[in-house]
Homo-oligomer: A and B are copies of this chain.
Amino acid sequence: MYKISEFAEITGLSKETLRYYAEVKILEPAYIAPHNNYRYYDDGSYFLAILLGKLRRFGFTIQEMISVMEDESFSHLEDLLLQKKEKIQLQMEDLRQQTEEIDEFLKSGKEDVNDD
């Protein structure tokens, strides 16, 4: 049983994130001490936390995480991952365009005050 700080360290999630995930019920502590409300996590929580950490990194919303956690077979997960991958590729393309736009903007700014 880990207290929140230790669990935060080993999972890479911040304490605030852990409290938040408990609040929204995607990762509830294995045990909560009644008299001081301390949250205790166990090895079962650990693997879920690692999974959630990855999903978070992949841009999953809380709602999507919920739908993943509710579906114990994780059958939905692969679809969502593929969706995220596509989304990420769109984002990359968008970022690429942004750098271009910044360059244009800088260039036009050097000559005069107009752009577009």
Which residues of A come within 8 Å of B, CB atoms?
50, 54, 57-59, 74, 77-78, 81-82, 84-85, 88-89, 91-92, 95-96, 98-99, 101-103, 105-106, 109, 115-116
Contact = CB atoms under 8 A, between A and B. Distances in A.
A102 B50 contact: no
A95 B98 contact: no
A84 B57 contact: no
A67 B96 CA distance: 26
Contacts of A59: 98
B58 A98 contact: yes
Nearest to A104: B54
A92 B102 CA distance: 15
A58 to B, nearest CB: 6
Given A92-B92, A95-B88, A102-B85, A116 B57 contact: no
